[in-house]
Amino acid sequence: MNSNLEQGLNPYLPSWEYIPDGEPYVFEGRIYVYGSHDRFNGHGYCLNDYICWSAPVDKPQNWRCEGIIYKKTDDPLNPEGSMCLYAPDVTIGPDGRYYLYYVLDKVPVVSVAVCDKPAGNFKFYGYVHYADGTLLGEKEGDEPQFDPGVLTEGEKTYLYTGFCAIGDKTRSGSMATVLDKDMLTILEAPVIVAPSQPYSKGSSFEGHEFFEAPSIRKIGATYYFIYSSIVMHELCYATSKNPRDGFIYQGVIVSNNDLHINTYKPENKPGYYGGNNHGSIVEINNNWYVFYHRHTNGSNFCRQGCIEKITIDSNGTIPQVEMTSCGINGAPLIGLGEYPTYIACNLFCSNQAIYSPHNAYMDNRYPIITQDGKDGDEEMGYIGNMMKSATAGFKYFNFNGINKISIKVRGYCKGNFEVMTTWDGEVLATIPVDFTNVWTNYESAINIPNGVHSLYFRYAGEGIASFASFNLEK
């Protein structure tokens, strides 16, 4: 693959890495992202240990793996590793150390680990508790803790937690708890800051009630509460001047199937196969970005981190952004050279689906992004299950003088790949493909208009194709 991989791309980590639930921060001149750790072809969420990736702020496309920063067996409640490490968050305490907050998958309490450096290794520190020693989540009347998000101001740390399924009246919403300077002891008991679906009537959150994934940021004097709504694919936000009261729903920052976006497709047409969403925002080099995740491998359990550049308007609002292939690049990619297809930001077929279909890899009804090998193998991702009508879209490129295009395909397929600059537009090139068990190059002349455009590939033929890359030439 050529140097195009050195641009900012989505997903921003290598195609064989699966880090969802990303919480991004800038520490000591580097961008650090903390998330859970899915397993390729895994049977459930978050099966691997926590690892960390970081990149220099002046070269934010150059990500480096910091290795394992915390193992599931490091928690005293989990010596056999039978519980998973769910989505974490990190904050700098009053003592200047880095505190990692997380919840194991079968207990209602919040665990904390600590390290002197942002890249680990973190050591178990304790459990969030009341002054009498009772653990948060175990006191009578407490709701179970989940998905901690943290913000430290002075000697206080604000801890946001919660998981609220539709119709579950035992869950009231996302909670905000205030911790003392020891990062464990509760100063102020939990209060609800965003309601669950059964308790949202009359609030600004109706239709976008809290589901999971609370994250908190402060911009100026305004607190931004970022969360996943009950429709799952949305990463929404609410704002307040008070970290524990008065949050008003504001909108969707990004959807991992691009619903609500009507700039390149109908508003209610899914542009990708969505699912749960989790992430947050960060400022890098005076620009703001949202980190979120997409679903791959026709499964809920192989999620990959993506980045989009966002704008924060003068009134503090964040307009919803499209999913793109551009990642931290934040601008159109070079419309020349070879690109891997795992950077597709649109993927769909005539079997339209808002959510990632269960076992799509097995039933061949939907195209998927996948890889060869097993978890941890550094195998380049590609698109599988390209059946008739399957369409892969890539946004955006800056084209200039492109007159030839080639694709790398394998599989029991016979037909054509049609190339367009819009998902339903004029076919600019038709590339015949045939049965083959090895990756094979096929090419065609093409005249792509100069300027910034998308690129879409639609399969029209028999059988099932796998699609590895495309190459743009002058």
Distances in Å between the alpha carbon of 471 and those of 62, 73, 313, 467?
A: 23, 45, 37, 12
Distances in Å between the alpha carbon of 443 and those of 68, 251, 300, 392, 415?
A: 43, 44, 34, 17, 14
Nearest CA to 6 out of 401, 329, 250 is that of: 329
Distance CA 38, CA 304 (A): 8
Residues 6+ apart with CB under 8 A from 202: none
The distance of Cα 114 from the centroid of its chain, to the nearest Å, equals 25
CB 37 within 8 A of CB 48: yes
Around 93, how many Cα atoms within 13 Å sit in the side-chain half-sphere? 19
What residues are labeled active site?
21, 212
CB 297 within 8 A of CB 280: no
Strands across the sheet containing 64-70: 23-27, 30-34, 50-56, 64-70
- Supply 190's token pair: 């939990």
Distance CA 177, CA 165 (A): 21
| 3-class state of residue 360 by DSSP | helix
Distance CA 459, CA 389 (A): 6
CB 63 within 8 A of CB 38: no
Distance CA 399, CA 395 (A): 12
One-letter identity of residue 351: N
DSSP codes of every residue in 282-341: EEETTEEEEEEEEE-TTSSS-EEEEEEEE---TTS--------S-GGG-SPEESSEEEEG
Distance CA 212, CA 230 (A): 8
Query: Which DSSP letter does residue 1 get?
Result: -
